[in-house]
Amino acid sequence: MRSVLASAPAKVNLALRVGPPRLAGFHPLDTVFEALDIFDDVEATSVSDSSVTLSISGLGEDLPVDSRNLAVSAALLLQERFAVPTGVALRITKRIPVAGGMAGGSADAAATLVACNKLWNLDLSTDQLMELGAELGSDVPFCILGSLAHGTGRGEVLRPLKVGVMHSWVILTQRQGLSTPEVFREFDSLMDYVRIPETLVPDTQDLQEALEDSDLEAVGRLMVNDLEQPAFVVRPDIREVLRAAQEYGIRAIMSGSGPTVAVLADDFSTADAIAGKLSRQFPELTVLRANGPAAGAHVQVVR
């Protein structure tokens, strides 16, 4: 085998509840992830020496291609942990917005883990890959698992949810991304933890039930993102986009740490119509159509 092509999905958080920082600076989360059918592809080709190299096409051509890139870190992690003697040339075709709150970097790490697992005949299970993924970033395990899941810890402790109906989404992405640590720092400075005992931090139980019951009205009512307010402080324009998007579909929400805004629509054709209207209303934004829940990271082609 010389080359393996693998793909991994973007995610949206239908709910993102954030607690006070602990766990070595990380914030405990109670979140519901949904994988969307916007995939990054990673082609992993074996090389004769031990080098790990990366090239990127599509979005993200300005991203670093050394170990600052999660895809390179993922390949190096497997190579070191399992004493793999050979290297790999990675080629990413990027479709997930960069620094958009949709786990684009994590998806690249997830696809790289899955591709190199196959290329190097490591035979690691999905659970083992998810455990390794958690060492790279909080969202990597979900990008491997895909579909619909409840996440706790820093987002890496996952419980799959039963999938009901398909969800049709309209995704509004900004040219300028947003730094996740910066949004979490702003969250800390806005919160008054003294007045909010930990036991009162709300969970996502009702939303999980609404999803499993395919009750889209209730899903819309229960969607929530605790990082919206801090993200608005860093980027006031997100509030305007979210307010305008709220006029459409069942409910609009900021995805993850932003700045991407996601609109949940009633069905496929309504979402198509909303996408058309929003792209006319916001010519400076990129408007995408997506459906979920989508598959987790998987091998596409081996040759």
CA–CA separation, 81 vs 120, rounded Å? 12
Nearer to ligand C5P, 184 or 282 (CB): 184
CB of 274 to ligand C5P, least distance (A): 29
Contact status: 204 vs ligand C5P (CB under 6 A)? no
CB of 89 to ligand C5P, least distance (A): 25
Task: Let me know if 139 is a catalytic residue.
Answer: yes
Strand, helix or coil at 57?
Answer: strand
What is the DSSP secondary-structure string of 1-27? Answer: --EEEEEEEEEEEEEEEE---BTTTBP
How far apart are alpha carbons 10 and 284 in whole angstroms?
22
Report, in Å, the least distance between residue 17 CB and ligand C5P. Answer: 11
Instruction: Please say if 267 is a catalytic residue.
Output: no
Per-residue three-class SS string for 169-185: EEEEECCCCCCHHHHHH
One character per residue 140-179, x = contact with ligand C5P (rule: CB under 6 A): --------------xx------------------------
Element (H, E) at 250: none
Separation of first and last alpha carbons in the chain: 6
Query: Closer to ligand C5P at the Cβ: 31 or 45?
Result: 31
For ligand C5P, the binding residue among 30, 43, 139, 228 (CB under 6 A) is 139
Catalytic residues: 11, 139
Residues that bind ligand C5P (CB under 6 A): 26-27, 29, 137-139, 154-155, 180-181, 184
